[in-house]
Amino acid sequence: MSDSQGIEGLEEARALLAEAERVCVLSGAGVSAESGVPTFRGEDGLWKNYRAEELATPQAFRRDPRMVWEWYDWRRGKIGGCSPNPGHYALARLALGPKSVSIVTQNVDGLHEAAAREVAGAADPSPALPLEVHGSIFRVKCTACTYKIPHRDPVRWETEAVLPKCPVCGALLRPDVVWFGESLDPMVLTEAFDSARNATLCLVAGTSALVQPAASVPLATLENGGSIVEINPTETPLSGMATFSLRGGSGAILPQLVEGLTEAGG
Ligand code: BV8
Ligand code: ZN
């Protein structure tokens, strides 16, 4: 059955979410697309004709650290001008509501966190703070020691001759993100799969589900008897395993999906 806007399965998916005790959300670049953040595989994901996978690697950084720094600054500049969209806010309201919800994101743009802090206001935002399995573009870390700091303002490349160095050991600083070919933080990975395993419903929004191991998080819910609801304008490798795969933008669908489930007694 489709709802007023013809989203096939939305009413049934709302019923499934309403009865779900514990929810795990897995989000990808598509959730931030309506905020103007370039997706990875969309045609807007290119930079100077490099595919993201070519630049987000330790090899690219070894080969040309300045180019990789410039790319991350280009992205920080773009993302810095973006704000959360109704999809981020809907997930924050759901996680700050009566249900036990954990948000696992592949996004490094910080928009889930921004939405959580905004929706929480003076209340504790932590139930809606995401698990950033691929790190954050707004943090840098040392390539040699454990030094790590927030990094919001882009480097002024025309003036900065040298690449940013670690104030502790002098080694090169790099974005605090997980690059292709690099393992995820084992603690973060365990927490992500634990919350998926314990969930009765995994809400998968805006991901092409091609990058491992993140794309396997929803399978932990399935393997434990739970179900998947997917939101994506196009089919993904997870669509066939989802109880409902809602075709449309997360900015439009998520607010409808969580409506009435975010207040106590919802
Ligand atoms: C690792 C941080 C140990 C950096 C990122 C098994 C099989 C095959 C390959 C592998 C494997 N295991 C490991 C690999 C290698 C690799 C991998 O998965 N490669 C893929 C490409 C095949 N994985 C790794 O390297 C991982 N490390 O496994 O270490 C190891 C190492 C080597 C070999 C074995 C084991 C590390 C992966 C993390 C890489 N870092 N980001 C940075 O951001 O700069 S990944 C990055 O790309 C993002 O974080 C995200 O995860 C991914 C992009 O995916 P999506 O978010 O889904 O975005 P995408 O653009 O693809 O899709 C957007 C979707 O949204 C689309 O479906 C679209 O239809 C939809 N959409 C669009 N608009 C909307 C929408 N949806 C809703 N609403 C809308 N409005
Ligand atoms: Zn250092």
pLDDT digits (tens, 9 = 90+) for 14-70: 999 999 999 999 999 999 999 999 877 665 665 666 777 789 999 999 999 999 998
Query: Residue 49: what pLDDT?
Result: 67
The pLDDT of residue 153 is: 59
The reported pLDDT for the residue numbered 38 is: 81
Query: What is the structure's pLDDT at 151?
Result: 76
Q: Give residue-wise pLDDT tens across range 105-118.
A: 999 999 999 999 99
What is the model's pLDDT at position 52? 75
Band of pLDDT at residue 3, cut at 50, 70 and 90? low
Count CB atoms within 10 A of the CB of residue 33.
Answer: 20
- Name the helix (H) or strand (E) containing 132: strand 131-132
Strands (E), 168-243: 173-177, 201-205, 227-231
* Residues 132-151 pLDDT 10s: 999 999 999 999 999 998 87
Specify the pLDDT at position 264.
64
Contacts for 132 with CB less than 8 Å, ≥ 6 apart: 105, 107, 108, 188
- pLDDT category, 6, cuts 50, 70, 90? confident
Among 216, 192, 175, 164, CA closest to 52: 175
Q: Tell me which residues have their CB within 5 A of the ion that is ligand 2.
A: 142, 144-145, 147, 166, 168-169, 171
Mutate to test the pocket of ligand 1, among 180, 183, 216, 245 (most ligand atoms within 8 A of CB): 180
pTM of the model: 0.94
Distance set, CA 211 to CA 71, 134, 140, 177, 216 (Å): 20, 11, 22, 14, 9
Burial 65-86 (b: 16+ CB within 10 A, else e): beebbbbbbebbebbeebebbb
Helix (H) or strand (E) holding 252: helix 250-258
DSSP 229-247: EEE-SS--TTGGG-SEEE-
Q: Name the residue of 10, 178, 188, 212 to mutate for ligand 1: max ligand atoms within 8 A of Cβ.
A: 212
Atom 10, ligand 1: which residue's CA is nearest? 212
| Dist. CA 24–CA 192, nearest whole Å | 9
Q: pLDDT value at position 154?
A: 55
From the candidates 88, 112, 134, 151, which is the catalytic residue? 134
Query: Ligand 1: which atom is nearest the Cα of residue 52?
Result: 44
Query: Which residue has a Cα nearest atom 73 of ligand 1?
Result: 30
pLDDT at residue 47, rounded to an integer: 64
Nearest CA to ligand 1 atom 17: 211
**What is the distance in A from the centroid of ligand 2 to the CA of 229?**
43
Could you tell me the CA-to-CA distances from 173 to 91, 143, 150, 243, 246 in Å, in that order? 33, 6, 12, 44, 41
* Residue 222 in this model has a pLDDT that exceeds 80: yes
What pLDDT sits at residue 44? 62
Q: Dump pLDDT digits (tens) for 150-173.
A: 876 555 555 556 788 999 999 999
**Res 42: pLDDT:** 62
Q: Is 112 annotated as catalytic?
A: no
Residues near 212 by beta carbon (within 8 Å), at least 6 away in sequence:
none
- The ligand 1 atom at the shortest distance from the C-alpha of residue 209 is 57
Check residue 143 and give its pLDDT: 96
Is residue 13 pLDDT above 90, yes or no?
yes
DSSP 3-state assignment of 32? helix
pLDDT tens, position by position, 185-209: 999 999 999 999 999 999 999 999 9
Q: Whose Cα sits closest to atom 8 in ligand 1?
A: 212
Distance CA 193, CA 252 (A): 28
pLDDT the model gives residue 51: 76
